[in-house]
């Protein structure tokens, strides 16, 4: 054996092990440390420790935000509810505020950079009782950055202008702009007054709404969901200069356009919209004052009750029926689904033609509603779906005038007007249902 070579190899292996150990030790020492070329930090506060924020623009009164429990409140310049997402943006920015560079490690004349007094001063109070004061000054000569300094730190920084934007907020930017705050999943009742009508919705189950006033009527889920969202998103338009007295005078000079009342677990809140020329004004029981609102909100709430009524004759939707019965004149056709097959009179029916008829039933919709004019039924439709749990019966009769038809659902006092062409297509669809062709032998 060549002991000399083995010894040399052992020494080399031991040397490599030492190098690897030292390298790993150095890497671990670097963990948690910023890279050598990383921009210096101006501020790094844990967002969940911030309990007080004060923003002071040069020559103006401060805006003070205070965390109470889990809710932020504005205490000055006047008490206001606060938009939590707007405050979160500020605390997030304060948790990791990077500089672009250090201009001067020991600045002697902060006034020359707009820092004494600062253009914007932001004070952060944290749980441990400490305060951090961020000073934001003038723009740099090229205008792509601003001067900044942390009180107590001798360094002068520049930071990106978008970082300044995160802290450059006015009271109207931070306040809660909702006019009708409510808990959506706890909403139980909505009352609307518009188009010289007052109508009311109540929630059935988790998400379904029913019209109960002026009489019991089916509600269109898409339209009622849209109404809920419009009320939830109703906000003050604070884009212009607010004049409280002018807004109040304008509101008082006009009649109501729409009034909404919503009821959740906290009680009932009211929102009233009025229109003056091309402007819309709102007053809410949940917020003091009168505010301009968008045309979209004003027009969106100015609707009659029929806009929210369900115009479809059948509710089975995408739950395919298992039994269909059609009586037209003296002829009755009955279709039953057995497994994947449709049967009629013991015969297998063509699935494509039956599906076309089912689609006609599913899409059967009124153009409008009528209070009277229903005559003798000429077509009766019965549909069973949802594993036999939903049974729907619809009768169709010629309208007393106009050439169209009226339909009524069993247990529903409403009359649904159908165009003559819709009834013609329905009759065509049931007439097209045919027996399935025997499969060709291979």
Residues 364, 417 contacting (CB under 8 angstroms): no
Residue 3 lies in a domain: no
Domain hosting 51: range is 41-174
Supply φ then ψ for residue 402, to 5 degrees. 100, -15
State whether residue 288 is helix, strand or coil. Answer: strand
Residue 265 lies in a domain: yes
Residue 27 lies in a domain: no
Indicate if the pLDDT at residue 420 is higher than 60: yes
Q: What is the pLDDT of residues 219-234, one digit of tens each?
A: 999 999 999 999 999 9
Number of CB atoms found within 10 A of residue 261's CB: 19
240 plus 164 within the same structural domain? no
Residue 205 lies in a domain: yes
Q: How many domains does the chain have?
A: 3
54 plus 157 within the same structural domain? yes
Indicate if the pLDDT at residue 310 is higher than 70: yes
pLDDT computed for residue 299 by the predictor: 97
273 plus 394 within the same structural domain? no
More confident position, 240 or 419: 419
48 plus 163 within the same structural domain? yes
Write down which residue in 279, 308, 337 finishes a domain: 308
Q: Among 19-28, 42-51, 187-196, 211-220, where is mean pLDDT lowest?
A: 19-28
Write down which residue in 263, 283, 308 finishes a domain: 308
Mean pLDDT, rounded, of the chain: 92
Q: Which residues contact 435 (CB under 8 A, 6 or more apart)?
A: 344, 347, 348, 349, 350
Measured distance CA(119)–CA(139) in Å, rounded: 10
Instruction: Check which CATH number belongs to the domain holding 131 and give it.
Output: 2.60.40
121 plus 233 within the same structural domain? no
Check residue 34 and report its DSSP letter. Answer: P
Residue 226 lies in a domain: yes
162 plus 194 within the same structural domain? no
Residue 33 lies in a domain: no
Q: In what order do the strands lie in the sheet with 120-126?
A: 80-81, 71-76, 63-68, 50-57, 120-126, 131-139, 145-150, 156-160, 101-104
pTM passes above 0.85: no
Measured distance CA(340)–CA(351) in Å, rounded: 9
Write down which residue in 113, 139, 174 finishes a domain: 174
* Alpha-carbon torsion, ordered 145, 147, 150, 151, to 10 deg: -160
Residue 313 lies in a domain: no
354 plus 240 within the same structural domain? no
pLDDT computed for residue 144 by the predictor: 86
Q: Report the run of H or E that residue 48 belongs to, with start and end.
A: none
């Amino acid at each position: 054996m060549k002991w000399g070579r083995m010894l040399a190899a052992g020494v080399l292996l031991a040397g490599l092990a030492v190098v690897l150990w030292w390298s790993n030790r150095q890497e671990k020492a670097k963990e948690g440390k910023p890279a050598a070329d990383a921009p210096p930090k101006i501020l790094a506060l844990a967002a969940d420790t911030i309990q007080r924020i004060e923003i002071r623009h040069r020559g103006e009164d401060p805006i003070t935000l205070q965390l109470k429990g889990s809710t932020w409140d504005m205490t000055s310049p006047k008490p206001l509810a606060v938009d939590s997402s707007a405050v979160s943006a500020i605390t997030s920015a304060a948790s990791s505020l990077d500089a672009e560079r250090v201009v001067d490690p020991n600045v002697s004349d902060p006034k020359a950079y707009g820092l004494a007094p600062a253009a914007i001063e932001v004070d952060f109070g944290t749980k441990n009782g400490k305060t951090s004061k961020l000073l934001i000054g003038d723009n740099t000569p090229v205008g792509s950055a601003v001067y900044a300094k942390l009180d107590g730190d001798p360094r002068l920084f520049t930071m990106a202008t978008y970082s300044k934007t995160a802290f450059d907020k006015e009271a109207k930017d931070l306040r809660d702009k909702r006019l009708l705050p409510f808990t959506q999943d706890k909403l139980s009742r909505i009352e609307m007054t518009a188009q010289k009508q007052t109508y009311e919705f109540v929630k059935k189950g988790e998400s379904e709404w029913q019209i109960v006033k002026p009489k019991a009527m089916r509600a269109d889920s898409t339209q009622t969901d849209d109404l809920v969202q419009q009320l939830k998103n109703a906000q003050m338009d604070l884009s212009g200069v607010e004049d409280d007295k002018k807004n109040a005078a304008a509101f008082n000079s006009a009649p109501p356009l729409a009034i909404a009342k919503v009821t959740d677990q906290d009680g009932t809140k009211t929102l009233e919209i009025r229109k003056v020329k091309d402007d819309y004004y709102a007053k809410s029981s949940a917020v003091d004052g009168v505010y301009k609102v968008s045309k979209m909100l004003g027009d969106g709430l100015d609707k009659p009750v029929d806009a929210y009524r369900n115009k479809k004759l059948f509710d089975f939707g995408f739950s395919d029926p298992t039994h269909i019965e059609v009586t037209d004149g003296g002829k009755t056709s009955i279709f039953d689904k057995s497994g994947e097959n449709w049967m009629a009179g013991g015969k297998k029916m063509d699935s494509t033609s039956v599906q076309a008829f089912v689609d006609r039933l599913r899409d059967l919709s009124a153009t409008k509603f009528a209070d009277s004019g229903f005559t003798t039924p000429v077509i009766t439709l019965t549909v069973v779906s949802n594993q036999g749990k939903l049974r729907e019966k619809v009768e169709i009769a010629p309208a007393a005038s106009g050439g169209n038809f009226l339909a009524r659902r069993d247990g529903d006092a409403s009359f649904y007007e159908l165009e003559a062409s819709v009834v013609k297509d329905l009759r065509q669809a049931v007439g097209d249902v045919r027996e399935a062709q025997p499969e060709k032998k291979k």
